[in-house]
């Protein structure tokens, strides 16, 4: 094994509480009848791309209305995350620092463009990662983005770490092993290895 590709939400950090404040501020300002979103609403969308998230959260709006509202929410989200960040899982930086000394580290997330950059900037973790990708930048699926990272960085034996069924399918699509982050947002029944907390990665890849 020469490299580890990470999912972000539910794997390295939990940004839901900050994102909720941002999205609800837009909904309130726009006087939207959909009402206040909850943490449970967002947990049910983890691992999905933004168009699917918008359909689930705002099913009564037209496609045009959803796109407009989500664009406003995304701008607010980037602003709030830049100020407040998210919650890193316990000992995340320590683990990433140790792993980066032995392996090449990357991030592939189903997020919008700018999201990973805000994560880097607020928590100052960019130094541990060599590259990243997301559908907001490429328009590709998570599995395709994983393959893009593998090809672009000439990786010979990577693994993918994530917390949802979508992550498992993406890893399988890319033809690489999947490590299930059990502490995250999803439930996955099939995986190559499992971690119950982020720090367990040091045991798996020690």
Higher pLDDT, 56 or 127: 127
pLDDT above 60 for 34 = no
Query: Helix %, strand %, coil % for the chain, to 5?
Result: 50, 15, 35
User: pTM of this prediction?
Assistant: 0.90
The overall average pLDDT reported for the chain is 93
> pLDDT tens digit string along 68-88?
998 899 899 999 999 999 999
CA angle 185, 164, 98 (to 5 degrees): 85
Q: What's the CATH class of domain 3-14+86-205? A: alpha beta
pLDDT of residue 154: 98
pLDDT of residue 140: 96
> pLDDT tens digit string along 132-189?
999 999 999 999 999 999 999 999 999 999 999 999 999 999 999 999 999 999 999 8
Q: DSSP letter for 141, please.
A: -
């Amino acid at each position: 094994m020469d490299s580890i590709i990470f999912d972000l939400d539910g794997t390295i950090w939990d940004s839901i509480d900050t994102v909720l404040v941002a999205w609800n501020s837009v909904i309130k300002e726009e006087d939207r009848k959909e009402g206040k979103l909850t943490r449970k609403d967002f947990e049910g969308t983890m691992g999905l791309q933004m168009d699917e998230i918008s359909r689930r959260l705002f099913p009564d709006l037209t496609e045009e209305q959803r796109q407009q509202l989500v664009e406003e929410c995304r701008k607010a989200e980037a602003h709030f995350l830049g100020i407040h960040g998210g919650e890193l899982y316990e000992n995340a930086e320590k683990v990433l620092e140790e792993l980066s000394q032995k392996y090449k580290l990357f991030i592939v997330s189903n997020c919008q463009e700018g999201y990973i950059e805000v994560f880097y900037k607020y928590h100052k973790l960019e130094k541990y990662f060599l590259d990243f990708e997301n559908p907001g930048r490429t328009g590709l699926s998570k599995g395709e983005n994983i393959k893009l990272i593998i090809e672009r960085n000439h990786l010979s034996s990577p693994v993918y770490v994530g917390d949802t069924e979508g992550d498992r399918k993406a890893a399988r699509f890319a033809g690489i092993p999947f490590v299930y982050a059990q502490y995250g947002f999803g439930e996955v029944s099939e995986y190559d290895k499992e971690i119950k907390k982020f720090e367990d990665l040091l045991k798996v890849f020690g």
